[in-house]
């Protein structure tokens, strides 16, 4: 189905079987085209400098080009690979943006279906903060975009389809009128379409497709899993139960003070946002939740469960940084009133150094289970569809923590920024590299692949955003812990106000 709303009548469209690239042609891939004699006359000197950065996430950004250059790239790929490549058609992009046609764009509320939603290709709200994690914005900064429900990354691109207006009738592989000079461009919303004059100088990414041929139809092979590895033995650490409600508790383990090296070693494929390695002194022991905060635990404190994909043992999600801080504030008040929280302690989010120490467990291994990526399926949800899974259904790491790799991104205490390198003490200031309202998330999510399961993975997230791939893990430590610089104060004030509001509503609620 295509169309809907302002884009024209909602109508059925038939598309032939096709392969589509998981992501747009990257700058690194486009460099190979240029090195092989490819022509891109629209690239200015500034663009060339950006394109030739040989490190960091900039290589992974999409190459934005004019449509004629996009066609030349497609011809080059066809000659190089010996099979037919094309620019995606409008129908193909919309088909996969709507998760193979399962999403209607004319539903009143995106939450009417659990996953995905109607408007965007990822099943979320059209609010800018919701869109941002799924799209690349600008050429100077890189936001590590996330895939939609069928693992396709940002889908805005040139298409091979000529502009035409929908008349509401059923179509098959529509390509538009040959005589039309305007070319269809697809952007963030699944249904959004616009026709652009190729002579106007607009640049968009390239998304490749190729038709499925008879040679591509091969017998389905049964997947044979390798033998299960020997589970990592869990060491003994102090443990306590935090009572959230009469029938709801949360288990925490105590992590030691000490020095932890955080960040990505040079030999792990250099990425600036995860480097340089920095030695951080953690001055006091702290407690950390054995699992991500579940929906039952969140509801016991906050009085509601806003998660898009619901289940009491699933990690809570679709909440923002302010709501996470409010949860910590309310729990701190509750436990102080009950005389169960020692003087000088508060509940809060873990720092990056604390989170990474608990993930690495005193080792320098790439993954929380060791160095072998093939052991990952026994320890982490990172290669599945459909949303997060119940917590603690995989094996724990050496310190007894579950799901620090995969399942859901875990927001930590600090603003997103560059590590300083050298030696420092926790918490420490980072060089701000993005908007000041970006906070840090760690650990990867259920469909981000094994690379996201690395202990050093970190991403910047808009602190006001709510997303169904993002939750948190609870920490408890000293109350003299400072609020991080910059907009941390801007988040803390509304978090306390939200906690006050919830507490007042509870006082006024009738006694059952």
Task: For residue 123, give the 3-state DSSP assignment.
Answer: coil
Q: How far apart are CA 493 and CA 495, in angstroms?
A: 5
Residues 6+ away with beta carbon under 8 Å from 70: 87, 158, 204, 206
Task: For residue 78, give the 3-state DSSP assignment.
Answer: helix
Per-residue pLDDT in tens (0 to 9) along the chain, 512 residues: 777 766 777 788 888 888 888 788 888 788 889 888 888 877 654 554 444 443 344 566 788 889 899 999 999 999 888 888 999 998 888 887 776 454 454 432 222 223 333 333 333 333 333 333 333 333 333 334 445 555 565 667 889 999 888 888 888 888 888 888 788 887 656 667 788 888 777 888 899 998 887 665 555 556 566 788 999 999 999 999 999 999 999 999 999 999 999 988 766 654 557 888 899 999 999 999 999 999 999 999 999 999 988 999 999 999 999 999 999 999 999 999 999 999 989 999 999 999 999 999 988 888 999 988 889 999 999 877 678 999 999 999 999 999 999 999 999 988 888 888 899 888 776 765 555 678 889 998 887 778 778 898 888 888 888 888 899 999 999 887 665 544 456 788 899 999 999 999 988 877 66
Using alpha carbons, select from 391, 402, 405, 386 the residue that is nearest to residue 468. Answer: 386
Q: How far apart are CA 153 and CA 23, in angstroms?
A: 5
Looking at the DSSP bridge assignments, the partners of residue 464 are none
Element (H, E) at 116: none
Question: Domains in the chain, please, with CATH?
Answer: 5-213 (3.90.1580.10), 239-508 (3.90.1580.10)
Can you give the pTM of this predicted structure? 0.69
Q: How far apart are CA 257 and CA 398, in angstroms?
A: 17
Q: How far apart are CA 235 and CA 245, in angstroms?
A: 29
Q: Residue 424 is encoded by which pair of tokens?
A: 């420092």
Using CA of residue 384, residue 17, residue 88, residue 70, what is the dihedral sign?
A: positive
Using alpha carbons, select from 114, 138, 495 the residue that is nearest to residue 323. Answer: 495
Burial call 100-113: b when 16+ CB within 10 Å, e when fewer: eeebbbeeeebbee
Using alpha carbons, select from 290, 201, 284, 205 the residue that is nearest to residue 249. Answer: 290
């Amino acid at each position: 189905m295509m169309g809907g709303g302002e884009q024209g009548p909602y109508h059925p469209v038939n598309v032939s079987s096709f392969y589509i690239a998981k992501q747009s042609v990257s700058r690194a891939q486009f460099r190979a085209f240029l090195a092989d004699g490819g022509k891109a006359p629209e690239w200015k000197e500034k663009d060339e400098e950006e394109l030739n950065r040989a490190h960091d996430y900039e290589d992974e950004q999409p190459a934005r080009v004019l449509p004629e250059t996009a066609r030349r790239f497609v011809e080059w790929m066809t000659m190089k690979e010996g099979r037919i490549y094309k620019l995606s058609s409008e129908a193909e992009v919309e088909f996969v943006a709507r998760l193979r046609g399962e999403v209607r764009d004319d539903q009143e509320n995106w939450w009417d279906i659990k996953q995905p939603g109607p408007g965007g290709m990822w099943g979320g709200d059209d609010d800018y903060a919701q869109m941002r994690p799924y799209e690349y914005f600008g050429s100077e900064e890189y936001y590590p975009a996330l895939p939609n429900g069928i693992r396709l990354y940002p889908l805005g691109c040139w298409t091979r389809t000529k502009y035409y207006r929908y008349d509401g009738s059923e179509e098959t592989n529509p390509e538009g009128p040959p005589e039309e000079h305007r070319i269809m461009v697809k952007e963030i919303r699944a249904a959004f379409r616009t026709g652009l004059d190729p002579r106007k100088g607009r640049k968009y990414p390239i998304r490749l497709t190729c038709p499925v041929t008879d040679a591509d139809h091969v017998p389905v092979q049964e997947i044979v899993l390798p033998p299960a590895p020997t589970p990592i033995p869990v060491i003994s650490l102090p443990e306590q139960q935090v009572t959230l409600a009469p029938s709801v508790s949360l288990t925490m383990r105590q992590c030691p003070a000490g020095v932890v090296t955080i960040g990505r070693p040079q030999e792990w494929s250099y990425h600036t946002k995860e480097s340089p390695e920095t030695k951080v002194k953690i001055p006091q022991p702290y407690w950390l939740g054995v699992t991500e905060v579940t929906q039952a635990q969140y509801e016991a404190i906050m009085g509601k469960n806003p998660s898009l994909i619901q289940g009491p043992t699933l990690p809570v999600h679709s909440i923002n940084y302010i709501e996470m801080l409010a949860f910590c504030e309310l729990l701190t008040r509750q436990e102080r009133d009950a005389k169960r929280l020692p003087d000088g302690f508060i509940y809060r989010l873990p720092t990056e150094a604390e989170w990474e120490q608990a993930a690495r467990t005193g080792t320098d291994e790439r993954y929380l289970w060791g160095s072998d990526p093939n052991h990952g399926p026994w320890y982490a949800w990172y290669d599945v569809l459909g949303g997060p899974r119940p917590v603690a259904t995989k094996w724990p790491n050496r310190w007894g923590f579950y799901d620090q790799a995969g399942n859901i991104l875990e927001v930590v205490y600090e603003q997103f920024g560059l590590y300083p390198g050298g030696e420092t003490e926790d918490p420490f200031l980072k060089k701000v590299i993005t908007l000041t309202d970006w906070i840090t998330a760690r650990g990867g999510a259920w469909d981000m692949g094994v690379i996201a399961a690395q202990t050093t993975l970190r991403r910047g997230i808009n602190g006001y955003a709510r997303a169904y791939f993002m939750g948190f893990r609870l920490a408890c430590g000293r109350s003299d812990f400072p609020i991080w610089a910059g907009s941390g104060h801007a988040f803390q004030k509304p978090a306390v106000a939200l906690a006050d509001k919830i507490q007042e509503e509870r006082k006024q609620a009738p006694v059952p």
